[in-house]
Amino acid sequence: MKRIIHVITTIERGGAENQLLVVARAQVQSGRKVTIVPLKGRLELDKEFSLLGAEINRRLLNKHPLFQILLLAKLVDNENNFIHAHLPRAELIVSLLPKRIKFVVTRHNAENFFPGKPAVFSRFLSRFVAIRSNGVIAISQAVKDFMYSKRELPASYKVELVYYGYDTKFLEPKNTKVLLPRSSGSQKIIGTVGRLVPQKDYETLLIAFKDYSAVSPESKLVILGEGYLEASLKLMTYNLGISKKVVWVGKSDNVAGYMREFDLMILTSRYEGFGLVLLEAMLARVPVIASRNSAIPEVLGEQHPGLCQTGNSEEFASRLIEFESSARVLEVIEVQDLRVAQFSPEIMRKKLDMVYELV
């Protein structure tokens, strides 16, 4: 059985990186030998991968791209090795290996291959990687549709759809400590998880929470994440008069611990490639309110009662108020319990194996 070498831009905590933990665990449990090759950044998930039984190869870490190509070619030039690349930088590095080396790539984001650069340049790089690869995987129909609509792939190019899986092992809190003490039994904790960047549309969230807090004045909004918008968002909470009701946790390695204490999970994103935090919330049996766009309805289901029009703060506030009802919350959790079963790591692993076998 071939060794799977996952080349990924970074193993700092993030959606694609956390999902690779699930992939690696499922593949190791199936008897595969798995190696993780990060290219840059901090080794935040190093210990987690090692505990799963995956090998961590650090030889390429933070090296010049030319040396990374040479070192990777030496590492994988063996018929018993197969490469699976994740995220643009890793895809580019792998695509420059000798043609005899086979690999597939997974596209994790519903955004240009090279964000911030001219579309024609992004399309060129995306198509170059796809043509050099032996297969492209999309994590959602939304990602697949985006690639075709932006011409980042030729219309004739076949893309395999493999949804994320999620493993309850990664929902185990780091400890049993209470992270978000409540001042009273009526206090609700509304949580969200995501980088503090425009994609997540925190402006809509903060305005919706302001309106909701008029009905539930003791409630708190807890935000897990970091990003360059932090200062401006904190100023916005001050201007809205809710600064004392918003808790800024920052980046955390204990999302499961916080999720366990949320009464509701809210995601106001303008788009998501998948939205792994949605699976985390559903598995933790936390009712979800989220934007109706991109991959979000794919994950929650088109008829999920928590879906709202993107950017509509009034509808988000109305849904928060509606979910004050315990009966309504139980209905939502029942819907989510039925939905989450299709995202098992075993289903995901088998679909990946099918892709590998086609190469």
The whole-number pLDDT of residue 1 equals 64
The whole-number pLDDT of residue 342 equals 86
DSSP-based three-state secondary structure for 94: helix
The sheet that has 220-224: what strands, in order across it? Answer: 246-250, 220-224, 189-193, 264-267, 288-291, 307-308
Sign of CA dihedral 311, 314, 320, 322: negative
The beta strand positions in the chain, using DSSP E, are 3-8, 34-38, 55-56, 81-86, 103-107, 136-138, 159-161, 189-193, 220-224, 246-250, 264-267, 288-291, 307-308
User: Which alpha helices (DSSP H) does 191-307 contain, by range?
Assistant: 202-213, 230-240, 255-259, 276-283, 296-300
The C-alpha angle with vertex 250 and arms to 204 and 285, in degrees rounded to 5, equals 70
The whole-number pLDDT of residue 180 equals 87
- Residue 328: both structure tokens together: 């309504």
Inter-CA distances, 207 with 199, 277, 288, 314, Å: 16, 22, 18, 8
CATH 3.40.50.2000 residue window(s) in the chain: 3-165+344-358, 170-342
The whole-number pLDDT of residue 267 equals 98
Per the CB < 8 A criterion, the answer to whether 22 and 345 are in contact is yes
Per the CB < 8 A criterion, the answer to whether 242 and 267 are in contact is no
Per the CB < 8 A criterion, the answer to whether 82 and 356 are in contact is yes
The CA dihedral of 196, 202, 206, 211, to the nearest 10 degrees, is: -160
The whole-number pLDDT of residue 172 equals 75
Inter-CA distances, 111 with 114, 136, 257, 286, Å: 8, 15, 30, 28
Give the separation between CA 311 and CA 144, rounded to whole angstroms.
Answer: 23
The C-alpha angle with vertex 14 and arms to 237 and 251, in degrees rounded to 5, equals 40
Burial class of residue 214 (count of CB atoms within 10 Å of its CB; 0-12, 13-18, 19+): exposed
Closest by CA position to 8, among listed 113, 88, 114, 63 = 88
Give the separation between CA 86 and CA 95, rounded to whole angstroms.
Answer: 12
Phi, psi (5° rounding) for residue 271?
-165, 155
DSSP-based three-state secondary structure for 129: helix
Would you state the CATH architecture of domain 170-342? 3-Layer(aba) Sandwich (3.40)
Give the separation between CA 201 and CA 313, rounded to whole angstroms.
Answer: 10
The whole-number pLDDT of residue 171 equals 72
Burial class of residue 47 (count of CB atoms within 10 Å of its CB; 0-12, 13-18, 19+): exposed
| pTM exceeding the 0.85 threshold for the entire prediction | yes
- CATH fold for the domain made of 3-165+344-358: Rossmann fold (3.40.50)
Give the separation between CA 70 and CA 87, rounded to whole angstroms.
Answer: 19
The whole-number pLDDT of residue 179 equals 86
Q: Count how many residues are written for the chain.
A: 359
Per-residue pLDDT in tens (0 to 9) along the chain, 359 residues? 689 999 999 999 989 999 999 999 999 999 999 999 999 999 999 999 999 999 999 999 999 999 999 999 988 876 678 899 999 999 999 999 998 899 999 999 999 999 888 999 999 999 999 999 999 999 999 999 999 999 999 989 999 999 999 888 777 777 777 888 887 778 999 999 999 999 999 999 999 999 999 999 999 999 999 999 999 999 999 999 999 999 999 999 899 899 999 999 999 999 999 999 999 999 999 999 999 999 999 999 999 999 999 999 999 999 999 999 999 999 999 999 999 988 999 999 999 999 999 88
